[in-house]
Amino acid sequence: GGKGLGSYCTMGNSWGWDGSQKYPPMLNPWAKWHLGWIEYTKVTTRGAYRLSPSHSTQQIYQISDGYDADSTGKPREYLLVENRRRGTSFEQKLPQEGVIIWHVDEPEQYNQNNHPGWNREGHPGQDGWPGNGNHYLVSLLAADRQYGLERGSNNGDGTDVIVPGSGFSLGPGPNSHPNTDTYLGGNVRQTNIVLNNFVDVGDGTNDIEFSYDSPHASEPPTT
């Protein structure tokens, strides 16, 4: 079986990266939001965005345009963007600092009886994936594209995180995984969202900057 979120969330591995339990990982952003600890900052305009470290701020970007929403307009599926850095107490053993993009499928909309693949590990090695509906409630979209957490090969490693300046780009499928396509209920559809240009701001803050583009996005205001 898979490893869930492994060492990227205290619910996946409270012992931490070095197994000592002295440096436990933080909760994933969806869990923090679900507990009422943070609010998401919604991204709706194409352009560049600055993101501060999640261990010292509450800043998490949510991208939901192009994904499904319920009858009230609440997003049912979306992406979260987090700047993950080594903290002074938590995650000192984090193997690589950088950006994590999470793909969330809200649990209120589905259950195991109606959608048996929901919250079950899914990866390109499975028959019919991602149309088989197999995916975690919260999935880490690994930069190495190896799906190590889903395949159960490790609890995460230094190649999962998007390293600023690496040239990594996350865009539409179906020929590349992970991607920004929808997969809620096994309904795979391109959103054509692109996230790229991940760079360190370079002013001593550990902030990063990235670019967002989408056919659903509004244009930035003119000056």
Residue whose pair of structure tokens reads 């993009």 in the numeric block: 101
- CA 63 from centre of chain: 10
Q: How many residues does the chain have?
A: 223
Q: What is the pLDDT of residue 115?
A: 58
User: Hey, how many other C-beta atoms are within 10 angstroms of the C-beta on 204?
Assistant: 6
Q: What is the pLDDT of residue 46?
A: 96
> How large is the average pLDDT for residues 26-38?
96
Confidence of residue 141 (pLDDT cuts 50, 70, 90): very high
pTM to 2 decimals? 0.94
> How large is the average pLDDT for residues 32-56?
96
In whole angstroms, give the CA distance from residue 24 to residue 158: 16
In whole angstroms, give the CA distance from residue 63 to residue 52: 17
> How large is the average pLDDT for residues 50-72?
94
**Contacts for 203 with CB less than 8 Å, ≥ 6 apart:** none
